[in-house]
Structure formats: structure tokens, C-alpha cells
A and B are shown apart, each in its own frame.
Chain A
Amino acid sequence: MSERVNGESLHILLVEDNEAHAELVMRSFEHHRVSNRVTHVQDGQAALDYLFKQGQYAKLELARPHVVLLDLRLPKVDGLDVLRQIKTSDDLNKIPVVILSTSAAEKDIAKAYEYSANSYVVKPLDFDKFEQLMDDMGYYWMAWNKNPWSE
């Protein structure tokens, strides 16, 4: 199941400032063999640098992620700001962005969709549910979701 239906692995960009949370996400993916390609960045600026191929990532040969898992409260550049910049970029706006946050605040959800987030999920407190979410999400984006671009 680590391969996409068409035989390709899913590349996820994980934007998460909390290292422990990042580890939880990655170990869940690992456990369910969802993906062997998770790129983890710790703040909003790094996420933008990665996607726009600038700053520390300017000279690297980088693969465009299939999906971005984006936390909202991030150092330097806020998650909503990262989302807005992705969705207003002609080049990047087709990349699905899933908000993965501890916040279930209506304001955050509304804002995220206003900025064209593709999905909004709240990190469950319960570990079993957390793992279930990661499994479902990985499977969904890997197996079911069709991306607008062909590789």
C-alpha cells in the first residue's frame, strides 16, 4: 500500500512546528505504510521557501509535493498566510492543502476555507483516532484523490 494506485508513492509536505506532533504524524504514516516520502519543515517561512524554491531550498532539486499538511500556528509566517500565498500563486494553487491543526475554532476553519483550503482536519486527542485519521488521509490522498497535473 505504499505505492499509489498508478504505482507512484505519495509525497507529503508536512508543515509542523511541534516536533513531537511531526513524529506522531510520521510514525502513523510509517505504521500504515502510507508514504515513504514525507518532507518535514518546522515553520511557515521554510514551507514557503520549499514550495517557491527560494532561500535555503533555492539550489536544491525538489519534488513538488502531492499534498501539503499545514499546521496553523507556525513560527515566523502563520499557517493561514502560507495557505494564502500558495493559493494565490499561479504555479502552486493546484496543490491540495490540508489544514491539520489542534484548533477547532470556527474562525480558523472559516478563514482556512476562505483562503481555499482543500480540507480542514482537527488533530484528535485520542491516539487511536489520530492514527485512524492519518491512515484514512494517507489512503484518501494516495489512492482516491486525482491530482490535476500528470507526471
Chain B
Amino acid sequence: MESSFNQSWQKLIRRHIYTLVVLILLLVVISAGYAYWINSKKEWGETVAYQYHSTSSTYYLNAMEELRHLQNDMNHTLLLQSSRPLPKQIEVKLLHYSETSLLNLVRQHIKSGVSLHEKFPNKQFNGLILRLEQQLLIFNENFYSYRKTIKLNSELPTNIDGLLLTLKQLIRLHTVTREDILLELANQTKKQNQFFFLLGLSFLFTSMFIVWRTVKSVNRVVIENEIAFSVIIDELEKTKKRTEKINLSLEDKNSELERFTYTVSHDLKSPLVTVKGFIGLLIRDIKEGNEERINNDLAKIAAASDKMGVLLNDLLELSRVGRVINKPQTIRLTELFEEARSLVEGQMSEAGATVSIENNMPSIYADRHRMIEVAQNLLDNAIKFRAKGVNPIIDVSAEVVDGQVHCSVKDNGIGINPKYHNKVFGLFDRLDLSFDGTGVGLALVKRIVEVHNGTVMFDSEGEGLGCTFRFALPEIHTE
């Protein structure tokens, strides 16, 4: 299973290799593009910084010029007479606003709430301040988000020279330098970098998620296919096993038939050899007039003919099993053996045998007529193979083992040497020739039980130690 799973992964990778390659290429292109964009932005930033630097330098110079110009214009010392102190802190917030609102905004953003020209109502001075403010703002007009707080360490001087000096310094301070721009750009780039990093990351995760989902769904399909295939394969294997089983049982049947034919031809030929042989001897004995031998020859011929008749009858009986099938029915084993016992009463009284049958034995589902033959043959067998001078005692009992009824017929007869075990149920096999018989009885028992999908067994401790014959058939539950 595991190896097939690995195989499915390999298959999957093979199948989606192009998708993967395209995704990787896409990632590479995006990274390259981003790197290029960042680089160009930096270049752009440099350009912007340079332009602003020159612009602000120009404005700075202009503002200086303006100051000098106004100073000369006024020609006299302007004394500042103020009852209120000048603000200590001026915050100049430079934002990217339209020109019309600039002044108003500057006014608002002068934290003291008092703009310089309000503070100093002198018109000329006011104009100067206004222009200065304007210059300052224009310097930074396009430089959005640039913010600077001007902290005044001391009060603004009250004489015009001092004030101008301070204003000069303020202008210098408020002039955006190249470094300021680059710093600001670096800040912005950093923020943008973070943003693009997160964007890239999310793109990566998204694509990974998509790949994962695709792989998962494809994998699911593969697994489903695999399951479907394994079901089909299972079915095929089952069919194969069934076929093999059928073949095996056919082979069994075939070899059984072959054995049967062989045995029959051999064993039927045997009495024929006897008959023809003794007829030859008879002719000679008649010529010689040996009466004793003539009688013997005739007796042998008669016995061989009889035997042939019995063999043929038995064979016919055996061939009926499995060919002539009576309707199966539920049979109580106790009743079955009681009936069989009544059929062997003659042999029982002759041998002085006792047959005890267990009460309430389980039931089986089988051809009743055949099962009586089984029971009768087993009892007959137990009586026939009795030990010399011993009255046969036969016990019939049954037990259920794993849903199978094991029925035993136990005797105290001559027993069977275990080394001959494969000759017990064979057709025409006889272990002891001092007993009459054709060797069909137990073969018949075996055949009938096997036709009912059962098994036959026997065990014996050995010669002279009795014997137990057993057959096993599926149990039937009766109310």
C-alpha cells in the first residue's frame, strides 16, 4: 500500500511538473520586477532629492536676498515694542496642500496661535514676515509629510537685527536639505519594502495554498481511483480464488474419478481372473476325476461370482450418492441412530453387541436416506470388527465444535494400526482379510458425508484398542 502511495505521489509530481515550473518562474519574475522597481525608485529618489536641494537652495538664497533688500528699504531701525512675549515654539507642518490654502494652514499650524504678522502689525514688517513664511512654505510645498518643530531656545529678539538673525537662522533651519529628503525617502522605502514584503509573502502563501489544494484534490482523485482499483482488484482476486477453488475441486473430482475407475477396473477384473482360472483347473480336474478338487474349483468360481455381484451392487450404491439426491431435511441424530440400530439388530444379537445412543444429540440438515446408510454402516462396521471373544460395546455420542456437529461411534473392537490410516476409507481397501467384506462400506460413508460438505475421521490407539469413527457436519438449530 505504501509503495503504491509513493508511486501515486511520483505520478502526481510528474503530472503537475509544468504547473510547478510555471509557478516558480512566476515567482522569479515577480522578485526580479520588484527588485528593479525598488532600484528605479531609489534612483528617482536621488533625482528628487537633488532637485529639491537645488530648489530649496534657490529659495533660501531668494529669502536671504529679500531680507537684505527689506532691511535696506526700511533704512531705519525698527524697534519692536511688544507688550507680550514672543512664542517660544513654532511648529511648521509641511504638507502637500494646494497653494491657496497654504497660508491659512501655516497660520493654523503655528502652535502659538499667533502668526508673526499678527504679532507685529507694522505693515512693512508684516509683509516681510508674510513673504518669509511664504518662502518657507514654498520650499517645502511638494515635500509632503515633512514635519518639523522649531523650538526657540529663547524669546525672539526685540530689535530688528536680532530678529532678522533669528529669522535667517529659521530659514536655514527650515530649508529642506538633500539629507532630509533622502532620509524621508529611506523611511518611505522602508515602509514600502515592508508592504511589498507582506504582499509577496501573502502571494507566496496564496500560491502555496492553491498548489496544496490542487495537489490535495488531485491526490484525492488518485486515492479514490486507487480505492476503486483496489476494490476491482479485490474482486478479481476473489474471483480468481473462487475459480482456483473450483478448479481444485474439479481436479479433486477428476482424480477421484480416475482413482475410482482404476480401482473398479482392477477389482472387477480380479474375480474374473479367478473364475476363468478355476474353470481351467476344473476342466483338468474333471479329466483327472479328482472330485475333491472339482468341488473346490466350483466353490471358488461360485464365491468369485458372488463377490462380483456384491461389488457391482455396492458400486451402484456408491454411484447413486451425489447422483440421486433426496431432499435434505432436519434430522435428529438420536433418532437417526435409533433407526439404524433397528436395522442391524440381526448382527447385534449374533455378536451379543450393545449399542447405546446418547439422548438429545444435535440435529443436522441432510439427506435422511443417505444418513441412515452412514449410521448403519458405522454400526455394522463396529459390530463386524469386534475383538475375538469380546461382546461389542458401541457408544454413539455427539458434540458441537465451532458450529460443526461431531458425531462419534466408539467401539471396543480390534482397532486400527495408525500407520494404515490412509487405507481406512479407500474404496475396496480392506485391512484384515479374515473379515468378510468388499471394502466399500466406509468408502460409502466417506462419500455420503463429503457430498454433504462434511468430513470423516477416525482414531484408534492401535490394534486391539478399539476405534472411534467420527463424522462432522454443520449444526442445525432446532427449537
Contact = CB atoms under 8 A, between A and B. Distances in A.
Interface in A45-91: 73, 75-78
A18 B270 contact: yes
A142 B431 CA distance: 33
A118 interface: no
Which of A20, A73, A75, A101 has its CB near the most chain B CB atoms (within 10 A)? Answer: A20
Given A73-B267, A78-B423, A127-B279, 9 more contacts: A18-B274, A19-B433, A21-B273, A24-B277, A73-B428, A75-B430, A76-B417, A103-B265, A127-B277
A33 to B, nearest CB: 15
Contacts of B395: none
B432 interface: yes
Contacts of A20: 274, 277-278, 300, 303-304
Interface string B270-296: 101110111111001000000000000
Nearest to B432: A75
A126 B276 CA distance: 6
A5 interface: no
Interface residues of B, number: 28
Contacts of A103: 262, 265-266
Nearest to B430: A75
Interface in B183-203: none
Contact of A128 (B266, B270, B280, B423): B280
Interface of A: 17-21, 23-24, 27, 31, 42-43, 73, 75-78, 101-103, 105, 107, 123-128, 130-131
Contact of B270 (A21, A31, A42, A75): A21
B281 A73 contact: no
B429 interface: yes
B18 interface: no
A28 to B, nearest CB: 9
Contacts of B278: 20, 24
10 contacts: A18-B274, A21-B277, A23-B300, A24-B278, A24-B281, A75-B423, A127-B276, A127-B277, A127-B281, A130-B277
Contact of B266 (A43, A102, A126): A102
Given A42-B433, A130-B280, A24 B274 contact: yes
A24 B278 CA distance: 7
Nearest to B429: A75
By Cβ-Cβ distance, the 5 closest A-B pairs, closest first, are A127-B280, A20-B274, A24-B277, A102-B269, A103-B266
Contacts of B420: 76-77
A43 B303 contact: no
Contacts of A73: 266-267, 428
Given A73-B266, A127-B280, A17 B273 contact: no
Contacts of A128: 280
Contacts of A123: 273
Contacts of B281: 24, 27, 127
A75 B431 contact: yes
Nearest to B280: A127
A76 B267 contact: no
Interface string B405-449: 000000000000100100100001111110000000000000000
A77 B277 CA distance: 26
Interface string B72-84: 0000000000000
Contacts of B277: 20-21, 24, 127, 130
A125 B273 contact: yes
Most chain A beta carbons < 10 A, residue from B267, B277, B300, B423: B277
B274 A125 contact: no
A103 B423 CA distance: 19
B72 to A, nearest CB: 144
Nearest to A25: B277
Contacts of A130: 273, 276-277, 280
Contacts of B423: 75-76, 78
B288 to A, nearest CB: 11
